[in-house]
Structure 1
Amino acid sequence: MADDQNGPAHRHDEAGHTHDDVELIEAGTTPVADATAAGVAPQKGPYQTWRTYAPAAISLVLLLAGIALDYFKVIWFRDPIRAIWYVVAYLPVGWPVLRRAWTSILKGNVFTEFFLMGVATLGAFAIREYPEGVAVMLFYTIGELFQDAAVLRARRSIKALLDVRPDEVTVLKNGQAQTVKAATVGIGDVIQIKPGEKVGLDGTMRSDGGTFDTAALTGESVPRSITKGEAVLAGMINRQSLVEMDVTTPYQDSKLSRILKLVQQATGRKAQTQEFIARFAKIYTPIICLLAVLITVVPYFLVVDYQFADWLYRGLVFLVIGCPCALVISIPLGYFGGIGAGSRQGILVKGSVFLDLMTQLKMVVVDKTGTMTKGVFTVQEVKPVSIEAAALARLTAALESKSTHPVATAIIDYAQSLRRTGGVAGVHGGGEDYESVPVENVEEIAGHGLKGTVEGKEMLAGNAKLLRKYNVPFDESLTQIPYTIVMTAINGQFAGYFIIADEVKPDAADAVGRLQKEGIRTVMLSGDKSAVVEIVAKQVGIDEYYGDLLPEDKVAHVERLKAELAGNPKAKLAFVGDGVNDAPVVALADVGMAMGGLGSDATIETADVIIQNDEPTKIATAVKIGRATRRIVWQNITLSLVVKAIVLVLGAGGIATMWEAVFADVGVAMLAILNAVRVQNLRFD
């Protein structure tokens, strides 16, 4: 392929082709951000569509008319009129290719597909095979248009991300709403989001709450409720009333902007197969040219009745057949299609190399919190003593409202849910809201819990050490419960306890099962208590698990696990995490995967694959996409090489004509492209 990149403003030739976009995919530098400017055919609008397809249509009409005039032996259709007719039919599709060939030669890149097509078709004209010369260039052009349309289709799912970031936002200044460019808004400014409007910047909710569609960022179809003080991200869509938010991140640093940058770089890391084909084409094309010359010249010394025109025709057929466009286009397009298929599934793959690596996974190591669990503490069970559950929850929440600890938040959320539903598990009478309960003399005892006066009663809420400190008797066996326990006491008497734990994601067990069906060993590494890790691991079916790990311990375990796979160079390890402390092991793994919805920025930046909707089952989906992509790529390689080898032999022997050559080149390329596009239509459930 030619390496002629003139920028977005010059990507069209006279025929409306977009070779540069195809070449950029081959080069691994596809400008996704400039996808609209690039004008990949077919474009929107009647003028652009006409401009794209008119040259090929004109050539086709003139070619068919010329063939008909030849067939009926019309008396006036003779040279020079016949030659002029076919030259006119040739120029709309041939001139852009000849021009590109010349431009490439000036840049030192001689042996391109443009050069091969130009020499072959001009040679056909030289031996007065006018219809075949026009037909070869016409079908080559049609193949290019077909490739452009396939590239556009492959890019739509990724390019769609660009449409979710609005350029303008409504800023509140001195109580007045003003529409300004999102890039000019500073940190601390207040912006207003109307119902149905997309959020343009990252920030925190200033209003009491709102409901947002987060599908653009996470792929999650269920709207998310966001309350005051919680994060609102660019790309979300406000689904209810007018809300306000405080901007916390500049436009260029928002989470969506970073995702778009990752998308733009997604084709930059090429798979080994793709790199091999690019190197192969650089060697293969000059060899084809040399063999074509030898086929034309050498028989002069070996054949008695040597006819130059006949052997030149064979050499030209050999050139057309040998054009490597089926390989150099369909293979990167196959990988690009795989990246697009992943994007539609909420999986961002940062390069085709990682699609290949996904096919070699033999071990997947996962973090627990935020990866296999929701990463949010919730009250799993409440055990009251001589008091109703709802009343205990209300009093404890009133005391815990003076703390910012995640455990306190879990109890407050639980009390609020009881208030909304009027009770839980058959216990009714939520009573007054906890916010109306008088709380005085609150003292937070580090490492123990809270002490205070609630409704005039002395109340404790904390761990076992807190109750021991104030000599409150309780059942010591409660300390054996592996989860977080919040014990309470009222006026020196044990009042009950709350069991608080992180919830396992609903699809976690299914995710592990799918990986195991693919022959992939699963391991869990967590900094949580070993007893909790064991419960979660058994609940989801993990093969091997370790708890009480510091970040450096996780690194040591991953290094050990990689050493176990060292005997098989094609066996790779993936690590899936979401927290800042997971970034070192994500970087260490052969394939680092991050949960992008809740994941930390450091982990997302380090990861090779990002699961935007936080669903563990997407790990197995990514593996399937990688395997499907690689299978299709090798199908294309095999198809292209086998068909070309057969027809090359037939062409050198004088059996194949230009028409067979057209099939071997353009026909095989189109079949390979159709196969490459197929990855986007496969189901990966």
Structure 2
Amino acid sequence: MSTEHLKHSDPVVESKHSCAHNHSDAHQHDGEHEHDHDHGDASKIKTYFPAISSLVMLVLGIVFDSYLKLDGFTGIIRLAWYALAYLPVGWPVIKEALEAVAQKNFFNEFSLMALATLGAFAIKEYPEGVAVMLFYSIGELFQGAAVNQAKGNIKALLDVRPDTAMVLRDGIYQAAKPERVTIGEVIQVRSGEKVALDGELISEGSSFNTAALTGESKPKTLRQGELVLAGMINLDKVVELKVTKAFADSSLARILDLVQNASTRKAKTELMIRRFAKIYTPIVFFLALALVIVPYFVAENYIFKEWLYRALVFLVISCPCALVISIPLGYFGGIGAASRNGILFKGGNYLDAMAKVNTVVMDKTGTLTEGVFKVQQVQTQDMDSNEFIALVAALEQKSTHPIAKAVVEYAKEQNQKILDATEVEEISGHGLKGMVNNSQVLAGNIKLLNKFNINTAPELQDIIETIVVVAINGQYAGHITIADQIKSDAQFAIESMREQGVSQTVMLSGDKNSITQKVAKSINIDNAYGDLLPEDKVTHVETLKKDETKIVAFVGDGINDAPVLALSDVGIAMGGMGSDAAIETADVVIQTDQPSKIATAIKISRATKKVVWQNIALAFVVKAIVLMLGAGGLATMWEAVFADVGVALLAILNAVRIQKMKF
């Protein structure tokens, strides 16, 4: 799906929030229709005018009836006044009921509300008929505001899509639509502008605001050759990028697609309520009908108007709005709260699954570690360390190996002038050999020095980390310890997961087992396994899943993690640097690349589920009480309005509370 299409027809951002259609799936049947109220800024007056006009006429009518007691305010004039008050809020609902009936959907809250209020008019309870429909409409307006708030994070995300890109054509930068820029073209991004497409940074470097993509407010500095993503904001000087992905395939487009599709994947609780509503609504309709008919045969002094009023009250109370509004809104609120924290859930069903997770399995490289090699220590034999690094870096700059790059990067950080190396030869599986400043330099593993019969220090065999062993002019000169840096929040992540009820943490890695065990011990992981192939990771997760009490989440970032992500109960991808395959396969994407967000995702999931079940309990308890009162003739239309609209509003406010929580 192209983002150009998303921009113009976005199901997530559109304001579909009628009692049936904001949660429309709760009432939808085959061949159903859309009920769409326009709540855009340009049409606020149009949105609120029906409710305001009805409210004004209702209040005036009550004043005319009860206080001024106007002689002329009777009969057809009184009926016409309240009918005019009713129509602005009642006609849209009646229209929906008729459209539903045309599609053979006879039992829904539209038909319940229409029957109840028209019935009130039939027994000349005009003010109550208007009031029920008016408060129903006001409830929808509150719901619309709640939905818009819940969708605010996603809408803000959509707003980061740039409309134009400055692309280099015919020697000058020209404005063009991002979707018309091709891979390989060069675009310019000025200070303060949004990046339109993913691209490789050609310029020296700049700082970028990545909040729209990751939720991280701290600017990120990127250097020449690094990848800049669409949606980032350039904070410094003018930069040029070489486009690496088409607009529709950019990271931003992928995120938008994930978030948009989230609203279509329903949680089990939400699906249960959908099934319940389809059974519940016809039952209460026939119960209301029985409430009118049965007393005729069993009650003394049967008064049709009295029993009809009870049935109408029963219908108003029974409307399932509180359930069908608040449950989808609760899940959407959870998805929105997670998005604000840099976590993308692909659906409410994954929020439900995440809340049950008790076992977390993690890849090491790129998940718990940075995935970038760094020089940890430089050890020399009777030689100045700066001179040592300068000689080794001269040789290593001729290689593209990640370890070689780490040595060169370290030399630059130490402000060392990198010398020229000549006669450089790469010895496969061993390392490099070359001449630097008229000295022969060997840099590689211990096997390289053994090959040239150069003695090394015995203690080198005991070093767990990766090392670059160096010899100069046939003599061992020292070594450089290289390691993948553990992420700053990795240990906190493990602690936080335990606080959230995760009983077992496991780390799987293709790295050598000694390094894997050291990392696991340093951050207190329960079990760790190294020297694994991708299929070995699958085997480990399959073994864990044999225990039915374990709900397993797997966290990874590489393309080789895709099979395990698909196999686990919840697959979590580290999205900032993760591969496309991992992100597409995962159920949850952590945009910030912070492992501590795993615990945050669990916390948000559990908070969402708690709120959803609170709403279910509230709706059932209040409605059950008022239904009994209504059937017994002890509740009026006004209590019915509270049981329907009041409970719905309370449920909405409770669902919106997720957005206010701090995680």
TM-score over 0.5 for the pair = yes
Query: Is the contact made by 1:172 and 1:190 (CA closer than 8 Å) also made in structure 2?
Result: yes
How has the CA–CA distance of structure 1 residues 579 and 323 changed in structure 2, closer, same or farther, with 3 Å as cutoff? Answer: same
Structure 2: how far apart are the matches of 1:258 and 1:105? Answer: 39
Structure 1: how far apart are the matches of 2:215 and 2:95? Answer: 45
1:471 equivalenced with 2:467 (yes/no):
no
Query: Is the contact made by 2:17 and 2:37 (CA closer than 8 Å) also made in structure 1?
Result: no
How has the CA–CA distance of structure 1 residues 40 and 305 changed in structure 2, closer, same or farther, with 3 Å as cutoff? Answer: closer
Decide which moves more: 547-556 or 474-483.
474-483
Instruction: Report what 2:40 is aligned to.
Output: 43
Instruction: Report what 2:4 is aligned to.
Output: none
Structure 1: how far apart are the matches of 2:480 and 2:10? Answer: 67
Task: Spell out the pairing of 1:328-343 with structure 2 (5 A cutoff).
Answer: 328-343=324-339
Query: Is the contact made by 1:400 and 1:412 (CA closer than 8 Å) also made in structure 2?
Result: yes
Instruction: Report what 2:200 is aligned to.
Output: 204
* Cα deviations by residue, 1:172-228 (Å, 9 ceiling, x for unpaired): 012111101110111111111111111111121112222222222122222222222
Q: Secondary structure of the equivalent of 1:298?
A: helix
Instruction: Report what 1:583 is aligned to.
Output: 562
Q: CA deviation at 1:404?
A: 0.4
Among candidates 478, 482, 485, match of residue 500 of structure 1: 482
1:488 equivalenced with 2:470 (yes/no):
yes
Among candidates 603, 623, 628, match of residue 644 of structure 1: 623
Structure 2: how far apart are the matches of 1:459 and 1:388? Answer: 15
- Unpaired stretches in structure 1, ≥5 consecutive residues: 1-7, 31-36, 420-429
Q: CA deviation at 1:518?
A: 2.4
Structure 2: how far apart are the matches of 1:282 and 1:254? Answer: 41
Structure 2: how far apart are the matches of 1:288 and 1:179? Answer: 61
Structure 1: how far apart are the matches of 2:456 and 2:435? Answer: 21
Q: CA deviation at 1:39?
A: 8.3
* Cα deviations by residue, 1:613-668 (Å, 9 ceiling, x for unpaired): 01111100000111000000000000000100000000000000000000000000
Q: Secondary structure of the equivalent of 2:75?
A: coil
Decide which moves more: 114-123 or 389-398.
389-398
Instruction: Report what 2:153 is aligned to.
Output: 157
Instruction: Report what 1:548 is aligned to.
Output: 531
Structure 1: how far apart are the matches of 2:606 and 2:186? Answer: 47
Q: CA deviation at 1:158?
A: 1.6
Instruction: Report what 2:240 is aligned to.
Output: 244
Task: Spell out the pairing of 1:116-515 with structure 2 (5 A cutoff).
Answer: 116-419=112-415, 430=416, 433-434=417-418, 437-515=419-497
Decide which moves more: 313-322 or 241-250.
241-250
Number of residue-to-residue matches in the alignment = 647
Q: CA deviation at 1:28?
A: 8.8
Query: Is the contact made by 2:154 and 2:259 (CA closer than 8 Å) also made in structure 1?
Result: yes
Instruction: Report what 2:580 is aligned to.
Output: 601
Q: CA deviation at 1:18?
A: 4.4
- Which amino acid in structure 2 is aligned with residue 598 of structure 1? M
Among candidates 55, 59, 62, match of residue 64 of structure 1: 59
Instruction: Report what 1:533 is aligned to.
Output: 516
* Cα deviations by residue, 1:523-582 (Å, 9 ceiling, x for unpaired): 111111111111110111101111111000000000001112x2x3xx411000001111
Structure 1: how far apart are the matches of 2:26 and 2:174? Answer: 41
How has the CA–CA distance of structure 1 residues 39 and 215 changed in structure 2, closer, same or farther, with 3 Å as cutoff? Answer: farther
Instruction: Report what 2:540 is aligned to.
Output: 557
How has the CA–CA distance of structure 1 residues 130 and 38 changed in structure 2, closer, same or farther, with 3 Å as cutoff? Answer: closer
Instruction: Report what 1:427 is aligned to.
Output: none
Structure 2: how far apart are the matches of 1:38 and 1:236? Answer: 36
Structure 2: how far apart are the matches of 1:584 and 1:347? Answer: 21
Query: Is the contact made by 1:29 and 1:267 (CA closer than 8 Å) also made in structure 2?
Result: no
Query: Is the contact made by 1:21 and 1:40 (CA closer than 8 Å) also made in structure 2?
Result: no
- Which amino acid in structure 1 is aligned with residue 561 of structure 2? D
- Unpaired stretches in structure 2, ≥5 consecutive residues: 1-7, 29-33
Q: CA deviation at 1:20?
A: 5.8
* Cα deviations by residue, 1:557-615 (Å, 9 ceiling, x for unpaired): 00001112x2x3xx411000001111110100000000000111100000000000011
Instruction: Report what 2:3 is aligned to.
Output: none
Query: Is the contact made by 1:28 and 1:269 (CA closer than 8 Å) also made in structure 2?
Result: no
Structure 1: how far apart are the matches of 2:433 and 2:237? Answer: 40
Structure 1 length normalisation: TM-score?
Answer: 0.92
Instruction: Report what 1:33 is aligned to.
Output: none
Structure 1's consecutive aligned runs of 4 or more residues displaced over 3 angstroms after TM superposition are 8-11, 16-22, 37-42
Query: Is the contact made by 2:16 and 2:22 (CA closer than 8 Å) also made in structure 1?
Result: no
* Cα deviations by residue, 1:255-281 (Å, 9 ceiling, x for unpaired): 111111111111222111100000100
How has the CA–CA distance of structure 1 residues 373 and 259 changed in structure 2, closer, same or farther, with 3 Å as cutoff? Answer: same
* Cα deviations by residue, 1:100-142 (Å, 9 ceiling, x for unpaired): 1111111111111111111000000000000000000000000
Query: Is the contact made by 2:380 and 2:388 (CA closer than 8 Å) also made in structure 1?
Result: yes
Structure 1: how far apart are the matches of 2:98 and 2:494? Answer: 56
Structure 1: how far apart are the matches of 2:26 and 2:177? Answer: 32
Query: Is the contact made by 2:23 and 2:324 (CA closer than 8 Å) also made in structure 1?
Result: no
Q: CA deviation at 1:43?
A: 2.7
Q: CA deviation at 1:21?
A: 9.4
Decide which moves more: 197-206 or 591-600.
197-206
Structure 2: how far apart are the matches of 1:225 and 1:403? Answer: 25
How has the CA–CA distance of structure 1 residues 478 and 38 changed in structure 2, closer, same or farther, with 3 Å as cutoff? Answer: farther
Structure 1: how far apart are the matches of 2:436 and 2:220? Answer: 34
Q: CA deviation at 1:29?
A: 13
Query: Is the contact made by 2:210 and 2:219 (CA closer than 8 Å) also made in structure 1?
Result: yes
Q: Secondary structure of the equivalent of 2:159?
A: helix
* Cα deviations by residue, 1:359-409 (Å, 9 ceiling, x for unpaired): 111100001111011111000111122222122112211111000000011
Structure 1: how far apart are the matches of 2:405 and 2:9? Answer: 55
Instruction: Report what 1:102 is aligned to.
Output: 98
Instruction: Report what 1:426 is aligned to.
Output: none
Q: Secondary structure of the equivalent of 1:361?
A: coil
Percent of aligned positions with the same letter in both sequences?
A: 57
Q: Secondary structure of the equivalent of 1:523?
A: strand
Instruction: Report what 2:31 is aligned to.
Output: none
How has the CA–CA distance of structure 1 residues 183 and 644 changed in structure 2, closer, same or farther, with 3 Å as cutoff? Answer: same
Q: Secondary structure of the equivalent of 2:192?
A: coil
Structure 2: how far apart are the matches of 1:39 and 1:284? Answer: 24
* Cα deviations by residue, 1:480-504 (Å, 9 ceiling, x for unpaired): 2111100111111211111000111
- Which amino acid in structure 1 is aligned with residue 114 of structure 2? G
- Which amino acid in structure 2 is aligned with residue 240 of structure 1? D
Query: Is the contact made by 1:21 and 1:38 (CA closer than 8 Å) also made in structure 2?
Result: no
Structure 2 length normalisation: TM-score?
Answer: 0.95
Query: Is the contact made by 1:28 and 1:268 (CA closer than 8 Å) also made in structure 2?
Result: no
Query: Is the contact made by 1:365 and 1:576 (CA closer than 8 Å) also made in structure 2?
Result: yes
Q: CA deviation at 1:25?
A: 4.2
Structure 1: how far apart are the matches of 2:286 and 2:577? Answer: 57
Q: CA deviation at 1:38?
A: 10
Query: Is the contact made by 1:42 and 1:52 (CA closer than 8 Å) also made in structure 2?
Result: yes
- Which amino acid in structure 2 is aligned with residue 513 of structure 1? E
1:93 equivalenced with 2:72 (yes/no):
no
- Which amino acid in structure 2 is aligned with residue 70 of structure 1? D
Structure 2: how far apart are the matches of 1:396 and 1:9? Answer: 57
Q: CA deviation at 1:680?
A: 1.0
